[in-house]
Structure 1
Amino acid sequence: MAEERTTFPRLMLEMAATRPDDVAMQEKQYGIWAPITWADYAQRVRDTAHGLAALGVERGEIVAVLGDNRPEWLIAELAAQSIGAAVVGIYPTSIGEELRHILTLSQARVVVAEDQEQVDKLLRLISEPTPEDGAPLAVEKVVYYDPHGLEAYTDPVLLEFTELEAQGRVWGEAHQGWYDEQVAAGTPDDIAVICTTSGTTSKPKLGELSHHNLLAMADHLTEIDPIGPKDRYVSFLPFAWIGEQMLAVACGLSRGLTLSFPEDSATQRSDLREIGPDVMFSPPRIWESMLSEVQVRIDEAGWLKRKVFGWGYDVGDKVARIRVSGKQPGAGLKLQHALADAVATRPVRDQLGLARIRRCYTGGAPLGPDVFRFFHAIGVNLKQIYGQTEICGIAVVHRDDDVPFNTVGTPIPGTDLRISDDGEILLRSASVFRGYYKQPEATAETVDAEGWLHTGDAGYLDDNGHLVVIDRAKDVLTAPDGTRYSSAFIENKLKFSPYVEEAVVFAPGSGTGTGASAGGMTALITLDPATVGSWAEHERLSYTTYTDLAGKDEVYDLIAEESTRANEDLPESIRVARFVLLHKQLDPDDDEITRTRKVRRNVIADRYADIIAALDRGDDQVAIRSRVTYQDGSSVERELVLQIFDLTTYTIPEGRGRRPVWSGRR
């Protein structure tokens, strides 16, 4: 069992000893994959660990890492762990107060940063005066691993990563045997990594995860979904996220996965196709964007290709419905499916980079049934997981051939699950975290004396023992007729549409206006610019900016039809009565959503209070002031009038059928 091998650094050294020439990771540089063997990996970790020691990093300290996924990210992580320190990952998109909060709370003296952009953010933060109600930063050294643009920087706080390694080699020569002693002194209960919680309602907490926590999770997951040393994994989601630590680091080191790092965010999709991973884990937004890409491509194809794919999809859908229920298709359908796969669905899988996939996961938020259905129909074994940072990201998962789309599966081995008397999901396993860093009171509220993790989520077990997650327990509401619901449930119904990027739903009376409520649920909706833009092009609808597109009557009509379809699946008392298309997308830099794209409802309720009040009153429109940025970079602040659409008076035009899942055309 991997968890008995105690720590990540020991696992790495074992890989270097038994598989020295095998590829541990590879990074694409200038169009060429540059491999790093397990022996090279271990040597670079040793040099970096010596370099950190030369900077004065000691056992028990925290080293911060800020940047996109590169080999240096993991080298820094393993180096810190080797000498008894821990790493806290910071999302590369973090700015301002969020960045200051994590650095202040962790008191990191050394920050490993990616490039000029991250260095500039840190230097700016270091130069700012300490807030009156805050503690000073402890940052003494910023180590960067991409030197482009930094050649002329002379700030003494800066140090290039290669120079850190060089200093480490010198320091190591003078301290023979020290590194091996430090690795041997590490224990399974040492903090391996500190991951930030999502922070939807407050500043993110720092969750302490030990080597034992993460390796126990890796053992329990791979007990049902085996991963081997020949498997490939493309790492492109932030290492600051528990999902990437879970698969790329814990499963990667314990099972010897080969990690591949795309050259750039712009080349992720093509690099994914080139590698063809065997296993993959991504949040819903990635799977939704893949489906959107397919919809756009198919809608732009000729009628023959559309017909062929439509036929192949229908065959694949029939087979998938049989298989996810644990049965097998008959011989005739199998033969038909083989042909359909060859001419229709396999080429799509190949285009998405999923041709070799054996299994893949989604988690962090609900994924729409239509999206699930699409991927299973084209032959992708996509499964939902459920977990939190506090339990190493995963506690519940679908089993192969048992994938009800409305559930998140059953507990992985070693995990206990129960529903409390008030409907809260409770979890217990060896992967429950050590606690929140420097927040013992919050830890005591989250993990009780018997070791149960109180998730704060409401849910129930269905007749087959599958977990169904409703929402955060505090967000479960009761309609006037007694129907219990959550805003997230309604929002997800709306977001199942390929045209809707985000939706925030409010109950009657949520508005802050003085007028009486018109009754009915209301929604703020933002568009998916790719799919709506493609639809507008097909409809020959011209527009300039996102704001212009969101204000078109034709687009309102499009979203009205999609919302009406979503309402059909909802109890009458919680159907959306009115909606507005927001003039901008929700942005993590504006604190409107988290870095993992979870909506911060309190920020939305405060920032868009006037719009919410107008929706609640049943107004026809609402005037706001907003800054609009154009494609050439220029911006102007102007008054906008947003239309409010009343769905209670809308009916879908007669004869207009439902669009297929794989198409954006009506």
Structure 2
Amino acid sequence: MKFGLTKYTIDCFFKRVVELYADELSIGTVEREAITYREFGESVASLENKFLSLGIGRGSRVAIVGVSTPEWAMAYLAVMSIGATAVPVMEDFPVDDIKYLIDFAESDALVLSEQIIAKFGEYDYTPFKALVRMDDYEILHNRGDKPAAREEVKEDDLAEILFTSGTTGHSKGVMLTQKNLVSNIFEGPDRLKCITKDSVTLSILPMAHAFGSTSAFLSIIYCGSELYMLGRKPTIGALMKSFEVIRPTILGSVPLIFEKIYSKKVAPLIGGKPLFRFLVKRDWTKKIFFRLIGRKFREAFGGRLECAIIGGAALAEEVEEFLNMGQIPFVLGYGMTESAPLITFQSREDARRGSVGSAITDVEIAIEDPEEGTGIGEILVKGPSVMKGYLKNPEATAEMLTDEGWLRTGDRGYLDQDGYLYLKGRSKNVIVGPSGENIYPEVIESLISASPFVDEVLVYAEDHKIVSRVFPNKEYVDRMEKGEKEEQRGQWLESLKREVNSKLPMASKIVHMIEEKVPFIKTASNKIKRDENINRDS
């Protein structure tokens, strides 16, 4: 076992972390200084005892709802360290949805932020063992249950129930065991080799998200690093201010964050002057130009970024090219909530363009029904981090897990001869062309999103025709159209369609490109909710 552990449980893991890094700085926020790991450990231990005194013990379920803060993290660790099950719920879900998920998970107790308590209004807390206010751990409701005894935590104990993105009726509760979580902590940092006790990281993803809690939190404290939480929605403005304050050496993010920074900061610069547009048309001048821009890009991250860790989905090709040519250090990974989440990861020395890396230790990948010629098929995964199943949903569990223990990811891709994985899109999103060819909307979206005119994009088929809906970068559009005659305005959309279609095969060409008036509806990890947005009016 790794890390000197005798078993893969959160209590053993965190005790080892505190033992190794007691005097190092551990966790803070953009506004608050970090405390030491010793203080972190003492706070978690105190909270464990408080929970036990309230009758919350092994087998209990505790809902945790609030903005991601050190107090959120302490509650999360304390709950799992006594063998109880954490039930994280996104704080920006509608109030009725939060209440529904708390009830659906059969939560015994609640840890809620003051803001969430205020939103709940006249809520009946009497069925719960306790209500603990997250901000200061004050007990606001105590049912008076008999104190729970501390029991041994086992690897197969249910550690957390994470809800997948979607509307309430479609959210699934992913059940992850103690072993699922702990077995997924080590591989990313071990391959990367640059996350150490001297690293400074900024956590920008919510802790109620698998990437935010495992890869961007547990994997970071495994290395004894200094971790700061953003504690708010990761808008470009909030991020830029935080980079200036924290000056992170390590940054974990989903692709969309980097794609947005690229579209807001880099693409407008490239498209803004004829000389710059000329420079990016030739490989050798593009490389020099991107290297110069890359220097400024690194400065925007605080000037000492050693590596950006980008995971969860494929990165837009244009953005990956810019990061490479701009000499901005980054690695890609791939995962999903149902695998706790990491499935593949790169090392900095062996990264391959377009690939999200190879399988982490003890994880197997198979491609089901690969297409002839391309090798593209559905990605299947097996390993110790694969979920126990979906809460109260045996039908969905049976669809997702095969009898042999393989997890159906719903993603399509292929493996090269060395076992490196390349993502092509979601199985359910594939569009079948007029001659039976597979069209991947994500590929078209990647081409469109590279334009400085575009902030968000969604591609799908309607009546056998390819449709693209675009939410523009309004600031850039207004700047570029300033001074143009009235009849010339708005032509950027048609021009963009022609440009993108020139790069696509006939079957994939866009027939209709529509401008959206408001941003798309998104998940907690900033992914566009495809079905909901397709069905809404433009």
Asked if residue 163 in structure 1 is aligned to residue 163 in structure 2, the reply is no
User: CA 1:64 to 1:296, structure 2 compared with 1: closer, same or farther past 3 Å?
Assistant: same
Asked if residue 501 in structure 1 is aligned to residue 468 in structure 2, the reply is no
Amino acid aligned to 2:470:
I
Query: Residues 465-504 of structure 1 correspond to what in structure 2 (within 5 A)?
Result: 465-504=419-458
Matched residue of 2:27: which SS? strand
Aligned to 2:361: 413
Deviation per residue, 1:122-168 (Å, 9 max, x gap): 236x36xxxxxxxx99556443344xxxxxxxxxxxxxx34349x9x
Aligned to 2:374: none
- Tell me if the contact between 1:524 and 1:579 (Cα under 8 Å) persists in the aligned partners: yes
- Tell me if the contact between 2:343 and 2:360 (Cα under 8 Å) persists in the aligned partners: yes
**What's the offset of the Cα at 1:463?**
5.4
Asked if residue 206 in structure 1 is aligned to residue 165 in structure 2, the reply is no
1:585 corresponds to which of 495, 519, 522: 519
In terms of Rg, which structure is larger? 1
Deviation per residue, 1:515-546 (Å, 9 max, x gap): xxxxx322222223xxx31341354269xxxx
**What's the offset of the Cα at 1:387?**
1.6
User: CA 1:9 to 1:484, structure 2 compared with 1: closer, same or farther past 3 Å?
Assistant: same
Aligned to 1:573: 507
Aligned to 1:346: 295
Aligned to 1:27: 29
**What's the offset of the Cα at 1:70?**
0.7
Aligned to 1:393: 341
Deviation per residue, 1:253-299 (Å, 9 max, x gap): 32222211246556442222333323222112210222234238847
Mark the runs of 5 or more structure 2 residues left unpaired by the alignment: 371-376
**What's the offset of the Cα at 1:223?**
3.2
| TM-score, normalised via structure 2 length | 0.86
- Tell me if the contact between 1:317 and 1:376 (Cα under 8 Å) persists in the aligned partners: no
- Tell me if the contact between 1:104 and 1:137 (Cα under 8 Å) persists in the aligned partners: no
- Tell me if the contact between 2:413 and 2:425 (Cα under 8 Å) persists in the aligned partners: yes
- Tell me if the contact between 2:267 and 2:452 (Cα under 8 Å) persists in the aligned partners: no
Distance 2:126 2:392 in 1: 16
Matched residue of 2:501: which SS? helix
**What's the offset of the Cα at 1:73?**
0.4
- Tell me if the contact between 2:203 and 2:252 (Cα under 8 Å) persists in the aligned partners: no
Aligned to 1:16: 18
Aligned to 2:119: 121
Amino acid aligned to 1:24:
S
Query: Residues 236-275 of structure 1 correspond to what in structure 2 (within 5 A)?
Result: 236-262=204-230, 267-275=238-246
- Tell me if the contact between 2:163 and 2:171 (Cα under 8 Å) persists in the aligned partners: yes
**What's the offset of the Cα at 1:225?**
1.6
- Tell me if the contact between 1:60 and 1:84 (Cα under 8 Å) persists in the aligned partners: yes
Query: Residues 347-366 of structure 1 correspond to what in structure 2 (within 5 A)?
Result: 347-353=296-302, 355-366=303-314
Matched residue of 1:498: which SS? coil
Aligned to 2:203: 235
Asked if residue 75 in structure 1 is aligned to residue 74 in structure 2, the reply is yes
Distance 1:27 1:507 in 2: 44
User: CA 1:573 to 1:267, structure 2 compared with 1: closer, same or farther past 3 Å?
Assistant: closer
Matched residue of 2:434: which SS? coil
**What's the offset of the Cα at 1:317?**
5.9
**What's the offset of the Cα at 1:370?**
0.8
User: CA 1:12 to 1:413, structure 2 compared with 1: closer, same or farther past 3 Å?
Assistant: closer
- Tell me if the contact between 2:97 and 2:168 (Cα under 8 Å) persists in the aligned partners: no
Aligned to 1:281: 252
Distance 1:284 1:70 in 2: 23
- Tell me if the contact between 2:209 and 2:524 (Cα under 8 Å) persists in the aligned partners: no
**What's the offset of the Cα at 1:419?**
0.8
Aligned-residue Cα RMSD (Å) equals 3.5
Aligned to 1:646: none
**What's the offset of the Cα at 1:371?**
0.9
- Tell me if the contact between 1:45 and 1:76 (Cα under 8 Å) persists in the aligned partners: yes
Asked if residue 191 in structure 1 is aligned to residue 158 in structure 2, the reply is yes
Aligned to 1:536: 478
- Overall identity of the aligned pairs, in %: 25
1:447 corresponds to which of 393, 401, 404: 401
Matched residue of 1:507: which SS? strand
- Tell me if the contact between 1:104 and 1:138 (Cα under 8 Å) persists in the aligned partners: no
Amino acid aligned to 2:78:
A
- Tell me if the contact between 1:108 and 1:138 (Cα under 8 Å) persists in the aligned partners: no
User: CA 1:559 to 1:82, structure 2 compared with 1: closer, same or farther past 3 Å?
Assistant: same
Amino acid aligned to 1:163:
E
Aligned length: 520
Distance 1:202 1:70 in 2: 28
Aligned to 1:57: 56
- Tell me if the contact between 2:294 and 2:328 (Cα under 8 Å) persists in the aligned partners: no
Once structures 1 and 2 are overlaid, which stretch shifts more, 197-206 or 356-365?
197-206
Amino acid aligned to 1:229:
K
**What's the offset of the Cα at 1:316?**
9.4
Distance 1:385 1:457 in 2: 14
Deviation per residue, 1:583-636 (Å, 9 max, x gap): 22223xxxxx3223334343334333xx6xxxxxxxxxxxxxxxxxxxxxxxxx
User: CA 1:54 to 1:317, structure 2 compared with 1: closer, same or farther past 3 Å?
Assistant: farther
Amino acid aligned to 2:36:
T
Aligned to 1:527: 472
User: CA 1:365 to 1:541, structure 2 compared with 1: closer, same or farther past 3 Å?
Assistant: farther
Deviation per residue, 1:217-257 (Å, 9 max, x gap): 22232332223222221112100111112223321232222
- Tell me if the contact between 1:69 and 1:239 (Cα under 8 Å) persists in the aligned partners: yes
Aligned to 1:218: 185
Deviation per residue, 1:504-524 (Å, 9 max, x gap): 3332416xxxxxxxxx32222
- Tell me if the contact between 2:356 and 2:422 (Cα under 8 Å) persists in the aligned partners: yes
Distance 2:211 2:510 in 1: 33
| TM-score, normalised via structure 1 length | 0.70
Matched residue of 2:217: which SS? helix
**What's the offset of the Cα at 1:94?**
0.6
**What's the offset of the Cα at 1:350?**
1.5
**What's the offset of the Cα at 1:448?**
1.9
Once structures 1 and 2 are overlaid, which stretch shifts more, 230-239 or 258-267?
258-267
**What's the offset of the Cα at 1:390?**
0.9
